[in-house]
Every structure is written in structure tokens, then in C-alpha cells.
Amino acid sequence: MGNRSVIPFGPQHPVLPEPIHIDLVVEDEKVVEAVPSIGFIHRGLESLAGKRDFNQLVYVAERTCGICSFQHGMGYCEAVEHIFGVEVPKRAKYLRTIWAELARMHSHLLWLGLLADGFGYENLFYQCWRIRERILDLHELTAGGRLIFSVNKVGGVLKDIPEDKLKEILRTLDEVDDELRVIRSVFFEDRSVISRLKGVGVLTKEQVNELGAVGPFARASGVRVDMRTLGYAAYPELSFAPIVSNDGDSYARCFIRMMELFQSIKLIREAIGKIPAEKELEVPIKGNPDGEYFMRVEQPRGEAFYYVKGSGKPFLERMRIRTPTFANIPALCEMLKNADLADVGLLVLTIDPCISCTER
Amino acid sequence: MANITRSPWLLHYDGSSCNGCDIEVLACLTPVYDAERLGVMNTGDPMQADIFLITGGINEQNRPTVKQLYDQMPSPKVVVAVGVCACTGGIFKECYNILGGADTTIPVDIYVPGCAARPEAIIDGIVKAVALFQKRSDDYKAKVKEKKKAGK
């Protein structure tokens, strides 16, 4: 029985750029309790619902998070479209799917890089981010922005991806596929990576269910939860099955995200193959939203839900966002118990924390 | 750039940004943009930093943290506000929890626009900050020299 002491982790710390503060109660080198405190980047984004009308709010929703920006915009738009009861043109649905999967790829590559940096594999970090830039180039090619590209609007999308750019996406994805296979073999087979990740931070299926974790983090523990199976955008027409692992350790989380990269490539290829040649990209929206709706979308980090309530005025009565990292924090604190102090940074990373989503 | 005697080290803190600018700051340091070729290094320790990159606006809770980080940095130092939120508060200006840009709490020298700020713009900001840092460093040295002379 050693002495208990409290070590503060954050808000400014070297693991990830975002501020999160965790008080770690340690006994010698073992963490016995982790107490999180959040709110360093709380902006009060939801309050803008009373100051911007429902069309302008798309851009606010996209700025909930710079990494999964597209999915935020899509979630909000689909929620408002459901209130209006309109059906988005098919081509717009496919375009949304393509952009959403590209955004997922860039987010997962970012995470894999940060993970490699977290266990001190600088070279791998750089390689992941080098490949990620290829995806960002595709964002820029198709939408004009690198991270926040504002192509969603209530009722459809603002831009089309012409045939030649779709071909360019396919060509780049072929090259990215080859490069990813090299990275994959390093992540899956390298001895130092395995020794840092295997058996670290194990959570069982029961624990994950009890604590309500979502996304790849939950899927790594054997919980089959993926909102893409609900069938928004063009997902119902694509062959899609969630990737699940039963190990529940950090290695499994890395495995899930790595395999999802290949899954995303497959989904984009399929979507580009099936995309209908329509001219219509949006349906006209008349009047103001009256009613309420819950929309659930699968972000790179897991399930995010959007609650939108309108009362026949241009300004929404309420917009509520629950983001995946917020759901994963209780599970993170459970996971940090009994962890080595040296593993804390790595374990915080394995939930793929996005604090600016969490605190909005 | 030739007269810079040492490489600038960066301290990066996320005020209340949406992450967009943060990952662009990181993208600056990775192979495609590679600011490290200019000798720029990202450090987590304010005591070793020369240039303070701040993204996002200021709110009540992070205000003391930002102030403390700024105070911990040794003089001379340069502050770069990255992204429109750090410059003015941006899209979140009207939110109840945002006090405004970074200059509400600490003196800002260089403003980098953009939402999210592009890596090219951030590197441009860093290069300008290096020039300013060099100037302040020279001024400081001249001051010390003058003091020494007067002491004799």
C-alpha cells in the first residue's frame, strides 16, 4: 500500500492539442481513480439557435468540431429535412455519403498518427499524416476547403462532384489503399506497437454496455453499434456491415479504426459506382420548420445525435447536440482505474477524444 | 531569415476552438508543410517556448490558463492568434460564454485569418513572428549592453 497522491493531467498537456483536465489519484505508479473536469472550451454553441435562422445554423453546426465537421452539418440538415418531410435527391444522398466517408478516413488517419505519436513512434506518426494530406487534397478538390467545407444545406448539397473529379477520387484512393497496406502491416505486426497496445486498457462488453460507450471504442469491445445501419444518406443501398472485435483492448481499438479505413475506401468506390446521374441536387424548402426530430448519425468517433425543435418561426426553439466523446468519458474513467501512470496518455487517446465536440 | 541565431520553439494552446485550426497547426509540422525545416519545433513546455500560438476565443474558464501560460514564457516572446476565433471570436462571438478574441486576455502581435486557417497562412504567421522575435531579441540585447555600460 503506497502513498496516495493526486497528479493533475492537463488542461495543457503534450498528448493532444485540446484541453482536457483529469485529476489522477495515484498509488505509487498505479492510477486508482480518475476525476475528469471539462468546460475549458465551452462556447455555448447551442445558444446560437436563437440568433441565427435554421439555414444559417448549418454553418454553426459544422463548426461544432473541425475534424468531423461534415457529419455535424449532415446530421443537422437531415434532422431539419425530416421535420419538413422532404426527400433529398438521390445524387445528393450519394454525394453526402462520399464526403462523409472521406471525412471519416481523414479523421481515422489523424487518430492513428496521434496514437503512434502517443507511444513514441514518430516515423509512423508522420507517415499517417502524410497519407492524410492526400485525403485533404480530395476535400479541397471536391469542396474547396480542407477541413470545414460547408457543402451541406437544408434540402440537399450545394456542389456537385463532376465525373472527372469522381475518377480522380478513385485514382487517389487506389494509391492511398496501397500506402495504407504498408502502414497496416506496421500497426498489426510491429513488436513495439504490439507490446504497447496488447492487453492495455481492457474493457469488457458488459462494462461498455453499462457505461454507454459508442463508436469504434464500443465496437472494439464486441458491441455491435453503428448508426450507419440505421440507413441515413445512401447507406441502405451500399453493402455495409459494422466491423466488430471482441478483445476490448487498445490494440483492438487500433484494429477497428484501421479496418474502417479500408471499409471507407470500399464504400466510396461502391458509392461512386452506383451514383445516379441526376441534375437535381436539392429540393426547394418552403416555410419554416414546425415540429421536432431526433437524428442519429455515425461520426468517426461514434454516435452523435441531433435534437432539433422548431415552432414555425425562422429561428429554432432548440438545437441539442450529444457528441460521441461525451458518451465515452465515463468508460474512459473506468478504463483509467488500475492503469499504469505511463499508459494514461495513450489510454486517453484510445477513445479518440474530441473535446471541442464534447463541450461545444 | 539568415540572421536568426536560434530556432523558434512553439507553444500551442487550444483556447476554445473547434479543432479545425489545431489540426492545421499540427499539419504545419508534418511532412507536407514541414515547418520543422525552418527550425520550428512544437514544445509542450511554456518555459522553453518563444512563440505562443493560440487558437480559439477566450472564455471564463480558460482565461487563467492562457494568462498563466503567457506569463510562464520567458521574454522576449511573440503571440500569434491563429484563426478567426482567436482574432475576434468569429462565429461564436455572440455565444454567451465567449469573451472575444485572444487579445482580450493577452497582447497579440500577429493575427492569422481563416476558418480554418490554412497551413500556408499559419506558416506565414510564424515567419512574421520569427522576424518580430528577432527584433525584440536584438532590442533586449542592446538594452542589456547599455545597462552594463552605465554600470561601469
What is the CATH number for A216? 1.10.645.10
- The reply to whether residue B17 touches residue A66, judged by beta carbons under 8 angstroms, is yes
Mean pLDDT over residues A107-134, rounded? 87
How high is the pLDDT of residue A265?
Answer: 92
Q: Among A268-272, A301-305, A338-342, B125-129, which stretch is predicted with the lowest mean pLDDT?
A: A338-342
Helix (H, G, I), strand (E, B) or coil at B16: coil
Which pLDDT score is estimated for A197? Answer: 84
**Beta pairing, strands B51-55 & B9-14:** parallel
Q: Does the pLDDT value for residue B39 go beyond 80?
A: no
* pLDDT above 50 (res A3): yes
Looking at residue B134, its amino acid is: Q
Across the range A119-124, mean pLDDT stands at: 84
Q: Determine the Cα–Cα distance for residues A285 and A89; give it in Å rounded to an integer.
A: 13
> Where does B9-151 sit in CATH, by number?
3.40.50.12280
Q: Is the dihedral of CA B80, B116, A168, A171 positive or negative?
A: positive
Classify A308 as helix, strand or coil: strand
pLDDT for A89 beyond 50: yes
What does DSSP assign to residue B3?
T
Mean pLDDT of A181-186: 89
pLDDT at position A244 over 60? yes
* pLDDT at residue A17 greater than cutoff 80: no
Measured on CA atoms in the order B36, B39, B40, B44, is the torsion positive or negative? positive
Alpha-carbon distance of A26 to A5, in angstroms, equals 5
Name which of A53, A113, A355, A130 is nearest A258 in CA terms. A113
Beta-ladder partners of A242: none
- The closest of A5, A4, A22, A2 to A13, measured between CA atoms, is A22
How confident is the model over A318-343, as a mean pLDDT? Answer: 85
Give the one of A14, A43, A146 whose C-beta lies nearest to B16's C-beta. A43
What is the mean predicted confidence (pLDDT) over A6-24? 75
Which three cell numbers mark A209? 454496455
Instruction: Name the more confident of A103 and A353.
Output: A103
- Burial degree of B17 (CB within 10 A; 0-12, 13-18, 19+): buried
Percent with pLDDT over 90 in chain A: 5
With an 8 Å Cβ cutoff, are B25 and A17 in contact? yes
Sort out which chain A residues have CB atoms less than 8 A from B83's CB and list them. none
| pLDDT-based confidence at residue B23 (cuts at 50, 70, 90) | confident
For residue B51, the surrounding DSSP H or E stretch is strand B51-55
Query: Cβ B31–A130 below 8 Å, yes or no?
Result: yes
A with B: how many residue pairs have Cβ under 8 Å apart? 121
Q: Is the pLDDT assigned to residue B2 strictly greater than 80?
A: no
Tell me if A142 sits within 8 A of A165, measured CB to CB: yes
Task: Give the span between the Cα atoms of A299 and B21, in whole angstroms.
Answer: 20
Across A7-11, A73-77, A262-266, least confident range: A7-11
- Residue-wise pLDDT for B68-124, tens only, equals 889 988 888 899 999 888 888 888 888 888 888 888 888 999 999 888 888 889 888
Q: A215 falls in which pLDDT band (50, 70, 90)? A: confident
Three-class SS state of A52? coil
What pairing do the DSSP bridges indicate for beta strands A30-37 and A152-153?
unpaired
pLDDT at residue B79 in the model: 92
Mean pLDDT of A132-146: 88
Q: Which domain holds residue A150?
A: 4-359
Contact state of B30 with A59 under an 8 Å Cβ cutoff: no
**What confidence score (pLDDT) does residue A14 get?**
64
- Which chain A residues touch B14 with a CB distance below 8 Å? 17-19, 41, 356
Phi-psi region of B116 (alpha: psi -120 to 50; beta: other; left: phi over 0): beta
Cα dihedral value A210, A235, A232, A176, nearest 10: 80
Measured between beta carbons, which residues in chain B are less than 8 angstroms from residue A323? Answer: none
Q: In B, which residues are within 8 Å of A146 by CB distance?
A: 24, 116, 118
- Nearest-Cα distance to chain B for A273, in Å, is 31
Contacts of A67 in chain B (CB under 8 A): 19-20, 23
Q: What are the start-end ranges of the H helices in chain A?
A: 57-62, 69-84, 90-118, 122-143, 163-189, 191-197, 205-211, 215-219, 250-274, 324-336, 344-350, 355-359
ipTM score of complex: 0.80
Cα B118 from Cα A34, distance rounded (Å): 36
Q: How many helices (H) and strands (E) does chain B have?
A: 4, 5
Question: Averaged over B31-54, what is the pLDDT?
Answer: 82
Question: How many structural domains does chain A have?
Answer: 1
Cβ of B95 within 8 Å of Cβ of A133? The answer is no
pLDDT at residue B1 in the model: 41
Average pLDDT on A22-42 reads: 81
Q: What is the rounded CA–CA span in Å between residue A32 and residue A131?
A: 38
Q: Could you give the CA distance from residue B74 to residue A86 in angstroms, rounded to a whole number?
A: 59
**Over chain A, what is the mean pLDDT?**
85
Domain definitions of chain B by residue range: 9-151
Give the mutation candidate from A122, A147, A323 for the B interface (greatest B CB count, under 10 A).
A147
The rounded distance, in Å, linking the Cα atoms of A76 and B35 is 36
Q: Provide the b/e sequence for A136-158 (b: ≥16 CB within 10 Å).
A: bebbeebbebbbbbbbbbbbbbb
Give dist(CA B136, CA B143) in Å, integer: 10
Find the residue in A nearest to B89 (Cα).
A43
A319 Cβ contact list (under 8 Å, min separation 6): A46, A49, A57, A61, A76, A306, A307, A308, A309
